[in-house]
Amino acid sequence: MSQKQVLGLGVLAVAIIASISFLIAVQLTESDKNEPNAMRDDTAVSGKTSETARHLDEIAKTERNPEANPTILPDNEVPANPVISKPDAPPGDEVDDPVKTEAKKQEDEVVTDLDLARQGDIEAVDRLIPQVRSCQHAPRDTKSISRVLDNYERMIAGSSSERARTNYELQLHEQKIRFQACPAILNSLNTAREDFERLARAGDVVARYFYAMWPPNLAMEPSPLLAQTEWELQAKDFTLQNIDSGEPLGLLALGTSYQYGIFTPRSMPMGIGLLMAASSCGLVHEPTEQFLQQLINANDEEGGIYAAYAQSQFELALTVAEQAGMSCNVIFGNP
């Protein structure tokens, strides 16, 4: 190879190296230009990740809040004293202050009446019984509550008279109070139920009567039919124990049950006959006296119907009461 050829190859090598260096420099420059975009992409991903993390954190907080996300138990797992959480206010219908105030008043009254009932106050029991029936049948989920309140709003809007409108507005207000108060009331009742069953088993005649007027909350029972059957048997047993001990509250419980079909089949004549016997055998109970006084003051046709249907049951109830040692004065008819 000649000296010229060697010199030519050297120049070519230098040119190639220069070209490669130039290309690398260009690539590095492009990389530097794209780096902010990459950083922005990373920032965007990071922002999405942060947003997701915040969302998951909110879910975690909700899961830790039993009122926001109540525990749903399998059908075969129900706590002995389940806590009833307050339903959320229906969308667009915040509970107003008067409703909250009245609901809180009712909640406090139930707690007070439960304490009085434990001490044998029959009047307190009479105030508690309507609360039991009302709250056990009240809807609890937001959708059902909204449906009820919306129905009242439609009836108010379609009222043909001021009197009807006022009546529906009053009913709507009462329903709002009911939905607001019932969760706390049911919690208080569920907590106290075992106390009254224990008192009834120990022989407390008022607790026996209250138990017989207090069906289980079947919506919270894993086996509603079994719970209802067991309660009916126990309610009958407590009622008969009261009657056998000469306590007219037993006749009152049995008569009320026959009137409304609580733990016995429904039979209005049998119910009235037992209430008449209870009143004749020493019962001091104003609601029963008022009811029977209405029968006495009824017109001849109504009085004759009640007498014809209830007289034989009255005679039978009187016989049972006297055999149990009750001192009875006949004030209805001539058995």
Say what the pLDDT of residue 327 is.
87
Mean of pLDDT over the chain: 78
Do residues 192 and 131 both lie within one domain? yes
Give the C-alpha separation, 235 to 233, whole Å: 6
Q: Is the pTM of this model over 0.95?
A: no
Do residues 112 and 187 both lie within one domain? yes
Per-residue pLDDT tens over the stretch 272-291: 999 999 999 999 999 999 98
Do residues 112 and 162 both lie within one domain? yes
Give the C-alpha separation, 62 to 140, whole Å: 19
Do residues 210 and 91 both lie within one domain? yes
Q: Look at residue 290 and tell me if it is in a domain.
A: yes
Do residues 88 and 151 both lie within one domain? yes
Do residues 69 and 197 both lie within one domain? yes
Q: Look at residue 50 and tell me if it is in a domain.
A: no
Q: How far apart are the first and last CA of the chain?
A: 150
Q: How many domains does the chain have?
A: 2
Which are the contacts of 155, defined by CB distance < 8 A and separation ≥ 6?
A: 168
Q: Look at residue 254 and tell me if it is in a domain.
A: yes
Range of the domain at 156: 65-217
Do residues 124 and 174 both lie within one domain? yes
Q: Look at residue 209 and tell me if it is in a domain.
A: yes
| Alpha helices (runs of H) in 158-299, residue ranges in sequence order | 162-201, 205-212, 224-244, 248-260, 268-280, 286-296
Q: Look at residue 237 and tell me if it is in a domain.
A: no
The number of angstroms, rounded, from the C-alpha of 163 to the middle of its chain's C-alpha atoms is 32
Do residues 82 and 158 both lie within one domain? yes
Do residues 213 and 260 both lie within one domain? no
Say what the pLDDT of residue 253 is.
97
Q: Look at residue 58 and tell me if it is in a domain.
A: no
| Structural tokens at position 31 | 């990389």
Do residues 71 and 155 both lie within one domain? yes
* pLDDT score of 128 more than 70: yes
Q: Look at residue 210 and tell me if it is in a domain.
A: yes
Per-residue pLDDT tens over the stretch 53-77: 454 344 344 434 444 444 434 444 4
Give the mean model confidence (pLDDT) for residues 151-155. 93
Give the C-alpha separation, 60 to 335, whole Å: 71
Q: What angle do CA 304, 307, 309 make, to 5 degrees?
A: 110
Say what the pLDDT of residue 75 is.
43
Q: Look at residue 145 and tell me if it is in a domain.
A: yes
Give the C-alpha separation, 145 to 141, whole Å: 6
Look at 109-113, 184-188, 292-296 and tell me which has the smallest mean pLDDT.
292-296
Do residues 209 and 72 both lie within one domain? yes
Do residues 107 and 160 both lie within one domain? yes
